[in-house]
Amino acid sequence: MENKNEKKSEIWEVGQDLIKRMDNLFANRPNNNFLESIDSFFQQSNAFGRIPVKVYETQTEWVVELELPGLRKEDIHLNIIGDKLHVQTKNEQATEVDDEKANYHYHQHRYMHRERTIQLPYPVDQSTTKAIYENGILIVRGPKPQQKTTQLRIE
């Protein structure tokens, strides 16, 4: 009985958190873009199974780290379009147990699909971008683009 009450409590807390976030979304007017406000609303909550991400820059490169435990690199698909990195994961697992002595057969199938689009600081060149997947962490990195300074001639 306690387990059911714990699950109800967790669901209730997630629901209350969702209601508070919806209230904040519509009560606080978006500064720039309404779609960005909606995106940040969903990114602030772990209840929706979003992919955890960390984006930062060093002196010479930009780096995106994503937590993707339990996947194979074949399950991960990346696309770069301008200044956006789109990550998509698909994972299928089947478990089957047969025990003829006990006349027991168990079959379980699990399918997981997640995706996320990450805003990068600027448009990046896909040909110089590299991705490494190790120990459940995907690291995508590339060199910072050269800033071109040109002097404007006054007419």
What is the structure's pLDDT at 47? 46
What is the structure's pLDDT at 63? 95
**In whole angstroms, what is the distance from residue 150 CA to residue 155 CA?**
15
Q: Return the residue matching tokens 């110089």.
A: 128
**In whole angstroms, what is the distance from residue 21 CA to residue 26 CA?**
9
User: Which pLDDT band holds residue 86 (cuts at 50, 70, 90)?
Assistant: very high
pLDDT(77) > 70: yes
**More confident call, 1 vs 125:** 125
Order the strands of the 76-81 sheet from edge to edge. Answer: 76-81, 84-99, 104-119
What is the structure's pLDDT at 18? 77
Q: Return the residue matching tokens 């909550």.
A: 45
pLDDT in tens, 129-146: 999 999 999 999 999 888
Mean pLDDT computed over 56-85: 92
pTM of model > 0.75: no
Which residues lie below 8 Å from residue 130, measured CB to CB, with a gap of 6+?
Answer: 140, 141, 142
Identify the weakest region by mean pLDDT among 25-34, 44-53, 73-82, 117-126: 25-34
**More confident call, 48 vs 128:** 128
